Amino acid sequence: MTKGFPEDFLWGGATAANQAEGAYLSDGKGLSTADVMTAGVHGVPREITDGVVDGKYYPSHNAVDHYHRFKEDIALFAEMGFKSYRMSIAWSRIFPNGDEKVPNEAGLKHYDEVFDTCLQYGIEPIVTLSHFETPLGLLKYGSWENREVINYYLRYCETVFNKYKGKVKYWLTFNEINVMSTKPWMAAGIDSNDEQTRMTAAFHQFLASAKAVQMAHEIDPNNKVGMMYAGHFAYSNSCDPEDVQKTADFMHKMLFYCDVQCRGYYPAYKLKEFEREGIVLPIQDGDLEELKKGKVDFLSYSYYLTHVIGKETNIDFKGLNGVKTGYKNPYLSASDWGWTIDPKGLRYSLNLLYDRYQIPLMIVENGLGAVDKVEEDGSIHDSYRIDYLRDHLTEMKKAIEIDGVPVLGYTMWGPMDIIAASTGEMKKRYGFIYVDIDDHGKGTFNRIKKDSFYWYKKVIETNGEGLD
Ligand code: BG6
């Protein structure tokens, strides 16, 4: 029997350009959808402004200055023993408005240096092509609602696949593609409640992803391309069959994104829903074949929490503000931001997805957003984070060892503190490495190792045997 984690398990951490880099206009970068989102606070959504408005604070503009400090950050990752670093390329660094014919060389050079730095330490880059940062210049076309945007995306993909051939092998086409159903501005630069609009944009992203998968394989047969699912998983509120049915309906709303990208076609339940609701997909000749040919090589997902669903749950998601299920799980505690903490659910989710798709999985986000305190001597005792991560890794290990689920890697979210995507706050910290700035972007930007830094180093050193 195979014991523990595979030898080549990709231990690491994950970030996104708009939450980490800053330097929002440096070296020719254009604005992205993230650059016009102000900071919110817990419970108050971030405001989307019409361009950059004087006097408002936009956390992506400086973020944690990873753009200038990536060498220091990656050296710290290497010190922890990272085998992989999941990060995103800001599309608007490569094509500042999204629709140029020629890429921005300065942007390409930057990521070349980032990848070289990773490789120098034996760290495998895992690259998200679009992580909540559609170039703002594409909004004049209607963003992802317009089929034309597929061509701009593919031009960008072709550029980076060729440029980083041999350096990057793992690619993710769209971060949390199912966020289209909950926060379409983040997923696609679309600020609309209209289901037809969202499903049109999702169709275009599916097609773009399927074509990108094929292109990546043609350019380099060693490329492995994954989808990325925002891990929504739900338990039924009771054994009342009505609650159970509603839970299944909820999971369909979310899993249909995985169904299309992993199986290569729209599931029957979704087509029936479209029929009932009068939603028409803008399918052209050959599109459905493209979806089939562009199935992903692996499924990656974020795992933070689980939901409880019952007959009262509204699963229409007509609001723009995420998923509200209406039920609480009495068996679980929650983070200060109300996200349930459910390590056992991670094993359950790995099994659920592997049973359904039978392709390798990767956990590309998991972690605890918490307020950290710097002690007078500069130390940070984040035992709560260690507990959270240990418990999740223990369950992931069971899924691998006991259930035989093939898991390629684990990239913990936000290895150094970065801007929170949902609220734009800085105080919602995930990192092994503290970054000294506050919610207004003020501070020294110094990096400080937390207790969890040393703990994760040991986990990697022992390939997951030193979890206790
Ligand atoms: C995922 C996103 O939804 O969750 C990340 O892919 C995000 O970009 C992460 O940061 C955690 O959410 P938050 O709001 O706590 O940063």
44 - beta bridge partners? Answer: 41
Distance (Å) from CA 67 to ligand 1 centroid? 19
% of the chain with per-residue pLDDT over 70: 98
What are 364-382's pLDDT values in tens digits? Answer: 999 999 999 999 999 999 9
In CATH, what is the architecture of 10-461?
A: Alpha-Beta Barrel (3.20)
Ligand 1 atom closest to residue 367's alpha carbon, by position in its atom list? 11
Is there an atom of ligand 1 within 6 Å of 369 CB?
Answer: yes
pLDDT band at 450, cuts 50/70/90? very high
DSSP symbol at 132: S
Which of 227, 341, 411, 422 most suits a substitution to test ligand 1, by most atoms within 8 Å of the C-beta? 422
Catalytic residue (choose from 176, 290, 395, 425): 176
- Ligand 1, atom 2: closest residue by C-alpha: 421
Is residue 64 within 8 Å of residue 435, measured between CB atoms? yes
- State the pTM of this model: 0.97
CA angle at residue 71 from 133 to 17, to 5 degrees? 5
Question: Is 176 labeled as catalytic in the residue annotation?
Answer: yes
Residue in the structure block whose two tokens are 């440096």: 26
- Mean pLDDT rounded to a whole number for the chain: 96
Residue 96 CA neighbour count, 13 Å, CB half:
12
Residue in the structure block whose two tokens are 């979310």: 254
Angle between helices 343-357 and 241-258 (to 10 degrees): 70
Q: What is the mean pLDDT of residues 301-320?
A: 87
SS (H, E, C) 361-372: EEEEECCCCECC
pLDDT band at 251, cuts 50/70/90? very high
Ligand 1 atom closest to residue 422's alpha carbon, by position in its atom list? 14
The amino acid sitting at 79 is: E
- Ligand 1, atom 12: closest residue by C-alpha: 421
Taken in order 270, 275, 280, 281, is the CA torsion positive or negative?
A: positive
The tokens describing 273, both together, are: 């829903």
Is residue 399 within 8 Å of residue 350, measured between CB atoms? yes
Is there an atom of ligand 1 within 6 Å of 65 CB?
Answer: no
DSSP assignment of 176-190 equals: TGGGGGT-HHHHHS-
The amino acid sitting at 163 is: K
What are 183-242's pLDDT values in tens digits? Answer: 999 999 999 989 999 999 999 999 999 999 999 999 999 999 999 999 999 999 999 999
Q: What is the pLDDT of residue 6?
A: 97
CA angle at residue 153 from 32 to 407, to 5 degrees? 95
Give the C-alpha distances (Å, rounded to integers) separating 324 from 117, 182, 248, 250, 364: 41, 10, 16, 11, 23
Distance (Å) from CA 69 to ligand 1 centroid? 21
Rounded to whole angstroms, how far apart are CA atoms 447 and 450? 10
Is there an atom of ligand 1 within 6 Å of 420 CB?
Answer: yes
- Residue 220 neighbours by CB under 8 Å, 6+ apart: 161, 165, 166, 169
Nearest CA among 168, 193, 174 for reference residue 182: 193
Q: What is the mean pLDDT of residues 145-167?
A: 98
- Residue 331 neighbours by CB under 8 Å, 6+ apart: none
DSSP assignment of 256-291 equals: HHHIIIIISS--HHHHHHHHHHT------TTHHHHH
Q: What is the pLDDT of residue 1?
A: 53
Q: What is the mean pLDDT of residues 296-309?
A: 97
First to last CA, the chain: 22
Dihedral of the alpha carbons of 408, 157, 147, 180, in degrees to the nearest 10: 40
Is there an atom of ligand 1 within 6 Å of 447 CB?
Answer: no
Q: What is the pLDDT of residue 466?
A: 74
What are 225-239's pLDDT values in tens digits? Answer: 999 999 999 999 999
Question: Is 365 labeled as catalytic in the residue annotation?
Answer: yes
Ligand 1 atom closest to residue 430's alpha carbon, by position in its atom list? 15
Is there an atom of ligand 1 within 6 Å of 335 CB?
Answer: no
Residue 301's CB: how many other CB atoms inside 10 A? 24
Is residue 134 within 8 Å of residue 156, measured between CB atoms? no
- Residue 436 neighbours by CB under 8 Å, 6+ apart: 374, 443, 444, 445, 446, 447, 448
pLDDT band at 44, cuts 50/70/90? confident
Rounded to whole angstroms, how far apart are CA atoms 349 and 342? 11
Q: What is the pLDDT of residue 468?
A: 66
What are 317-354's pLDDT values in tens digits? Answer: 765 556 788 899 999 999 999 999 999 999 999 999 99
Give the C-alpha distances (Å, rounded to integers) separating 121 from 3, 64, 125: 27, 22, 11
What are 120-140's pLDDT values in tens digits? Answer: 999 999 999 999 999 999 999
Q: What is the pLDDT of residue 358?
A: 98
What are 52-108's pLDDT values in tens digits? Answer: 999 999 999 999 999 999 999 999 999 999 999 999 999 999 999 999 999 999 999
Catalytic residue (choose from 124, 145, 290, 365): 365
Q: What is the pLDDT of residue 323?
A: 73
Rounded to whole angstroms, how far apart are CA atoms 313 and 103? 46
The amino acid sitting at 137 is: G
448 - beta bridge partners? Answer: 434
pLDDT at 307 over 60: yes
Nearest CA among 300, 299, 465 for reference residue 393: 465
Is there an atom of ligand 1 within 6 Å of 16 CB?
Answer: yes
- Ligand 1, atom 3: closest residue by C-alpha: 230
- Residue 427 neighbours by CB under 8 Å, 6+ apart: 371, 438, 439
